[in-house]
Structure formats: structure tokens, C-alpha cells
Amino acid sequence: MSPEETLHAVDPNYAALRKGCARLSGDEARQVSELLSLHGIASEYIEYSGNIAHIPLADRVDILTLKGVSLFTGESLDRNALAMQTQELTQGPWKSMLPPVVVLSPGGCESIAINFSETALSLEWQWSIDCEDGGQLTQRFRPQDLPESATQTLSGLSYSRRLLHLPPFHDGSLPPGYHRLTLQCVTSSDVGAQNNPLIVAPAQCHEPSWVLEGQRLWGFSVQLYSLRSERNWGIGDLTDLQDLIRLAIQKGASFLVLNPLHALDLRNPDHCSPYSPNDRRRLNLLYIDPAQAEEFYANASLHSAEAVERRLSLRRCLQQHEAINYRAVAELKLAVLLPMFSYFLEHHLAAGSARAQRFERFVAEQGASLQAFAGYEALRWSGFADGVDDPRFTLYTQWLAEMQLEACQLLAADLGMRIGLIRDLAVGGDGGGAEVVLNKGLFCERASIGAPPDPLAPQGQNWGLPPLDPLQLRQSGYSHFIELLRTNMAHCGALRIDHVMALMRLWWCPRVAGRGTGAYVHYPVDDLFALLRLESVRNRCMVIGEDLGVVPPQVREYLNSSAVFSNLLFYFEKYDGFKFRRPEHYKARALAMVANHDVPTLAAWWNCADLRLRNQLGLIPTETALDELTQWRGVEKRQVLQWLSEQWLLPPQWQGDCTLRPFDNELCAAILRCCARSSAQLLSVQLEDLALLETPVNIPGTSTEYPNWRRKLPIALPELIDSPTGRDLLSGFALERMLPEATQARVRSQPAP
């Protein structure tokens, strides 16, 4: 079967689309490309090799099709559809004086573009701003006195786009925030007024004093669910997090980097990736420690001898497992949370107690989106068990989760942590989850976020997460994006934005395998970064942008100008793809990680356990490929030894050619200490690396092939952090982060042995 026949067999519609695009005339192809650009669909990008990759026209048109815009009937171009779509996007914005939302910020967009008909230019107008704090600003003007930026003729009528500079914006009397702008004609009642949101953003994100002082902090990276303890319910929870905070502060840590805490779909417990959640605005109720809630102890039905013995038996069994049994954990916790909820209804909500009033304030503050989420969950759980299909059960458990998470951040602050919790915002949500289902039209459900082809994934990557439609996002006034930021900036000192490039562009691909590989779709980057800065300042929350891999230089320019920290990874910090970067040459405004959830642990990397496992799973298809990768790993290991030697940190027993020597505590301590010398202001170490663990928590590119997101830490926290081995590994690491710069400079100036 030929490639064309194979493609037709997989997807005849896409095969016809390819043929139709190939038959377009030069003028038709140009017109189609113009429409694609209006939709933000890119024609090219810089790939991993540094070369420019041109995206086939058929793949770009296919993305438009996924958005619900069809330009072809079979293999024939629908010229009427092309003309109507182009007209709508080019002429539509002129039919309204103001865009759906106006976003202003110093150094960015500082003027408002207003469309006036030719007859309205000489009339007198008034703009007024109803400020968020209750104040009002107003001024009269004539459009003809404003600078013109563009013109357009529609149905014989001439329109002029004029730029309105707001004087209060420049002298500081219009504060950052969410305001309302009203335009009204003073001299004619025939011209309608317009009232739209006006958002004013600061120039930079929140920067605590220690950032401006150049201090260097360190902390732990932790997958919360992986924590072991003698008291948890088979999964790490928010009480375990409090215990970790107490241990970490004793060692001098200033923060904890967490995995996304987003709500998962507990009806499908095996779908447990925190990066493919049910709803990014809500918390995973499995992180609740029921024993921390008043209703747990007050409900006598939970404390009969039989109930206690059964619960303790199940907990001991789940605690002993090496991997999390999400289904069993969910059943165990729901069996307790439901009676707790019934008790709350009877003894608090019905009685209007002070506790019930706190609950009702929380529900009111969270607004309609939480109510919609609760309703969605109730429908999903219908018929499962008494109580769980009551929307108030979801409201109650979200309240408990939020209170317990807040207690963790308050504890961190009380104990003196400079940052405390660093939360993580995933790039998308599951296509069947509440976030997508409850926002119909905002997400493109036929498409998926992914990545273009590269040597590790020659067919490209498809993550199964529907992307936000940038046109609809802007039309909605960015309300969903704002809510995502607000809910995830709660109860933390910093927020890590996974795949921060998504604020500028995302790789869209068809969710159906076998079609085109996809294309980049651009987003309103200026507005999104402005909103990020505004919410960062309002929530006093630092921002870290995950910019690993191939990222356009413009994205890093936005990070730098907005005071957003970058994200670095030890394995990838090399000068030329070969030699490891000296620690003093790391970027200062960055969170540097020794390792993270997407790469092997230090022990697995050194011992090549990750390569052997990928070979067993078929991700490295041949023994020849495995041998080649193992040989290259040997080159990298020699570079690590040289890197340590240049810093006078290479242990004596590791002198010479030791690349075949198994990883041990001494080499781990040396690598951690060398990383600690990094000039990056934030540095984290994984708990897994303190245990010299080889087993990965996640293998990118796998789903059913490997039990991702289930592996627990091998020992409890005190044994891991406060054991003699843990103290040895952390002592030099913490010491290096506390050394003054002058001492660091003297160490670096010494010649390598």
C-alpha cells in the first residue's frame, strides 16, 4: 500500500484535504495563508536543530478544521467560506468601538485603540473609568484630535482607528486592577455608548526583598502523593506536607516545590497524572487528611471498634504498598468523608454554626465556577453512593482541602520559610474533565496540545489535552485565565507555570492518530503576560516559568522583562551541548533543579538504569540504539567528573576513569554541593535523590506501558532527611547556599587539580 493509500485508509478526510491544498493556485494559497494567520496558525518555527521548519499548508488548514472552520468540501476549496471567514476576522473588529477587553501596562500597550465612524470624528466624546476601588476618572475629547493608527471602509462607510492615551495612566492615578471603561458621545444621543473591561497591569511580577538583595535560597522538590508516613492513608497528604515543612526548615530550606495539586477524576482512579487533571482550578480531595477535620472526631459512627479496626487494617495495607493504589485510597477516604459530610450537614449547616458560616463564606468567595464544578461532580457520581452525588459534598471537600493547604503555607511562614510552597500550574486539563466540559466553546475539543517532531519523538507528541481557543479566550475577557491564576496562586509563595511558552504559542495537533503532525497556534502574549504580572502582584506570589527545551527567544524576553524566574535543569545546563556549565555561570533569576519528574534521578542517570528501562519498554527500540546512548552517557559522565574536579569537589575515590563505578553517597553529595554553588537564586533537590532511588515517578512518552505517578518514596520522611545519610548529603549542599559571594569567588578562583 502506498503512503497516500495508507493515509486515505487512516483518515480519508485528511487525505482529501492534502490533495485539495496541493491543487490550490498561488493566489488561493496566499488567501488561505492570510486567513490562517488571522487565526494565529503559524507557517514555520525554529526546530530543535536550530533550522527553520516550514509547516505544510494542509497541516495548518487541518488545525483550522479542528477549530470548526471548514474551507474544503472534499478536495475542493469553498471560496465563499474562505471569503466569509476572512471578512469576519478582518472587518469584525471595526464594527465595535472597543475590543472585548482593554489591557494596559507600562512598557507594553499604553493606549486604547478606538474605532470611530467618519461622522463621529468631529463630535465631542467623554471617556470615564469606574475604578475597582470605587473611584471614577473622566475626561472629554474629540476623536479628530487623537493620533490615527489605521483606516477601513465597510459597506461604503469610512472608519478611523484612533489612539487614546489616558493621562491618569501615565501619572500613576489609575492603579493596577480591573476597571470599567465607558465611551459616550456628549453631543449626539444617536451614537450609542460602550462599556468594556479595562485591565491595568504593573510592569513586573511580585519581587520579594530577598530577590532584589540577590539572596540565594534552596528547597526540596516533592511529589506530594509519594510521601510515606505511618499515619497517612496510603497516599501522601497535607499533614505529611506539614511534617515535611518542619523537617525542611530545620535543614535551612526556604521552599518546597510541589507537583500540581489539581483535582483528578476519582471515577477513573488510574487516570492519575497531575498534569492531566479534571480541573486545574480545584484541589485533589485525596490530599485531605480527614483526621484534621472537626467532623472526623465528632462523628461517633466513625469510631466504633469495628470501624476503627477495619480502617487501620486497610491503612496499614495501603501504606506498605510500593505504589499507590488510587482506587483503594479513594474508596477508603470517601468511606470516611461521606459520614463527615453528613455530620456537617446536620450539626453545622442546618444549625447555622460559626463553622457553617466560614464554609458559606468560602463558597461565596469561590463564586459560580465552584458551584458549576460541584454540580458537574454530582452528576458524575450519580448512583455511586449516598451523599457523594450531593453538590454540597464537593463544596465541603473543596473547603477542607483549601483550609488544609492554607494551613501548610501559614505554617511555613510562621516557621520562617522565605517562600514556603511553590505550586505548579499544568498546561491543560483532560478533555472529559470538568474544566473543559464546563467551558464549552472556550476549548477546542477536537485538538490536543503536544509538541512537534524531534529525534526522541519523530512522530511528534500528543498529550491529549484540549487547548484554549485564543480568539474565544480574548472574546471572553480572559476570565478563565484570570481564574486559573487566582486559584493556583492561593496559599503559596510562588507559582511555577508549566510549559510557560503556552502564553505565546502552543503546538496543536489532531487528537486522532494518523493525521497531520500539527502546527503552532499563537496566543495574545502581551495580554497574558500583563495579566500574569497583575495577579502575581495582587497575590504577592512570585512566578517561575518552565522554559526548558526549545523555547523561542521572545518568550525568555517576556520572562526577563516581567520579572518571571526561568527554570533550569542540571542535566541540560551545558555550554555547547557538551560541557557542563560552571555553577557560577547559571542564570541568576531562575529556579535551578538538580532533577525533576520528567528526567531520571541522579542514581538512575549515572547507572544508566533509565536507558535500560526505556529499552525494556520499547522506547529505545534496538540494542544498537541502546549501546549508542550508553556510550554517549559515558561521555556525559566523564564531563560530570571533570566539572566536579574543576570545583575541587571530586571525591578521592572517584579520581581517574570511574564512569563504570556504581553511583554512591559520596558522588551524590559532590554533585549536590556543586549544584548548590549555582548562582541561580533558587535551587531545589528532589527527595528521590536523597534516597539514591533509581525508579522513575514518570517516563515521558508512556501511559499504560509504565505505572506513572504511582511510585512512593522508599522510606518515611524522618529516615530520609534526618538520617545520618540524609544529613551528610544535605550538609554540604546547605552550606554552599549560605556561603557569601566573596567566599564563593575565592573557591572558584582556585585552579582545578
Asked if 721 and 575 sit in the same domain, the reply is yes
CATH code for position 332? 3.20.20.80
**Per-residue pLDDT tens digits for 104-132:** 998 878 899 999 999 999 999 999 999 99
Asked if 302 and 392 sit in the same domain, the reply is yes
Calculate mean pLDDT across residues 485-500: 98
Rounded distance between C-alpha atoms, residue 102 and residue 732, angstroms:
51
Calculate mean pLDDT across residues 720-745: 77
Asked if residue 501 is part of any domain, the answer here is no
Asked if 86 and 116 sit in the same domain, the reply is no
Calculate mean pLDDT across residues 437-449: 94
**Per-residue pLDDT tens digits for 256-311:** 999 999 999 999 988 999 999 999 999 999 999 999 999 999 999 999 999 999 99
When the pLDDT of each residue in the chain is averaged and rounded to a whole number, the result is: 92
Asked if 48 and 160 sit in the same domain, the reply is no
Asked if residue 442 is part of any domain, the answer here is no
Q: Is the pLDDT of residue 192 over 80?
A: no
Q: What is the percent of the chain with per-residue pLDDT over 90, rounded to a whole number?
A: 81
Stretch among 56-65, 175-184, 195-204, 697-706 having the lowest mean pLDDT: 697-706
Calculate mean pLDDT across residues 704-714: 94
Q: Is the pLDDT of residue 752 over 50?
A: no
Asked if 67 and 115 sit in the same domain, the reply is no
pLDDT band for position 745 (50/70/90)? very low
The structure's pTM equals: 0.94
Output the pLDDT for position 2.
Answer: 42
Q: Which amino acid is at 281?
A: R
- CA distances to 57, 586, 589 from 208, in Å: 47, 21, 12
User: Range of 655's domain?
Assistant: 565-745
Our CA dihedral for 390, 391, 394, 396, rounded to 10 degrees, sits at -80
Cα atoms in the Cβ-side hemisphere of radius 13 Å centred on 22: 8
Q: Is the pLDDT of residue 160 over 70?
A: yes
Higher pLDDT: 434 or 750? It is 434
Output the pLDDT for position 49.
Answer: 81
Q: Is 352 left (phi over 0), alpha (psi -120 to 50) or beta?
A: left
List all residues 6 or more positions away from 476 whose beta carbon is below 8 Å from its beta carbon. Answer: 100, 442
Asked if residue 370 is part of any domain, the answer here is yes
pLDDT band for position 171 (50/70/90)? low
- CA distances to 99, 193, 474, 715 from 162, in Å: 13, 17, 21, 66
- CA distances to 231, 270, 500 from 300, in Å: 20, 33, 48
Q: Is the pLDDT of residue 748 over 70?
A: no
Q: Is the pLDDT of residue 749 over 70?
A: no
Asked if 574 and 717 sit in the same domain, the reply is yes
Calculate mean pLDDT across residues 23-38: 95
Output the pLDDT for position 107.
Answer: 80
Asked if 629 and 711 sit in the same domain, the reply is yes
CATH code for position 174? 2.60.40
Output the pLDDT for position 529.
Answer: 97
Structure letter (DSSP) for residue 290: G
Output the pLDDT for position 8.
Answer: 42
Asked if residue 293 is part of any domain, the answer here is yes
Asked if residue 280 is part of any domain, the answer here is yes
Q: Is the pLDDT of residue 750 over 60?
A: no
Cell triple for 80: 465563499
Calculate mean pLDDT across residues 199-222: 96
Asked if residue 18 is part of any domain, the answer here is yes
Asked if 79 and 154 sit in the same domain, the reply is no
**Per-residue pLDDT tens digits for 512-569:** 765 568 999 999 999 999 999 999 999 999 999 999 988 899 999 999 999 999 999 9
**Per-residue pLDDT tens digits for 412-430:** 999 999 999 999 999 999 9
Bridge partners (DSSP) of residue 505 are 522
Asked if 263 and 357 sit in the same domain, the reply is yes
Stretch among 92-96, 208-212, 609-613 having the lowest mean pLDDT: 92-96
Q: Is the pLDDT of residue 10 over 50?
A: no
Asked if 591 and 701 sit in the same domain, the reply is yes
Cell triple for 3: 503512503
Asked if 181 and 330 sit in the same domain, the reply is no
Output the pLDDT for position 515.
Answer: 59
Rounded distance between C-alpha atoms, residue 682 and residue 513, angstroms:
40
Q: Is the pLDDT of residue 6 over 90?
A: no
pLDDT band for position 753 (50/70/90)? very low
The C-alpha angle 148, 149, 151, rounded to 5 degrees, equals 85
Calculate mean pLDDT across residues 16-42: 94
Q: Are the C-beta atoms of residues 103 and 109 closer than 8 Å to each other?
A: yes
Calculate mean pLDDT across residues 189-200: 88
Asked if 62 and 9 sit in the same domain, the reply is yes
Higher pLDDT: 621 or 1? It is 621
Nearest in space to 495 (alpha carbons), one of 503, 487, 483: 487
Calculate mean pLDDT across residues 161-187: 86
Q: Is the pLDDT of residue 746 over 60?
A: no
Asked if residue 466 is part of any domain, the answer here is no
pLDDT band for position 143 (50/70/90)? very high
Calculate mean pLDDT across residues 376-404: 91
- Domain boundary among the residues 36, 57, 92 is at 92
Q: Are the C-beta atoms of residues 196 and 101 closer than 8 Å to each other?
A: yes
Bridge partners (DSSP) of residue 256 are 220, 421
- CA distances to 146, 181, 715 from 112, in Å: 11, 10, 58
Higher pLDDT: 170 or 346? It is 346
Phi, psi of 330 (to 5 degrees): -60, -45
Domain count, the chain: 4
Output the pLDDT for position 742.
Answer: 38
pLDDT band for position 707 (50/70/90)? very high
**Three-state secondary structure call for residue 591:** strand
Stretch among 10-14, 633-637, 640-644 having the lowest mean pLDDT: 10-14
Q: Are the C-beta atoms of residues 568 and 509 closer than 8 Å to each other?
A: no
Taken as a whole, the chain contains a residue count of 753
Asked if residue 159 is part of any domain, the answer here is yes
Calculate mean pLDDT across residues 704-727: 92
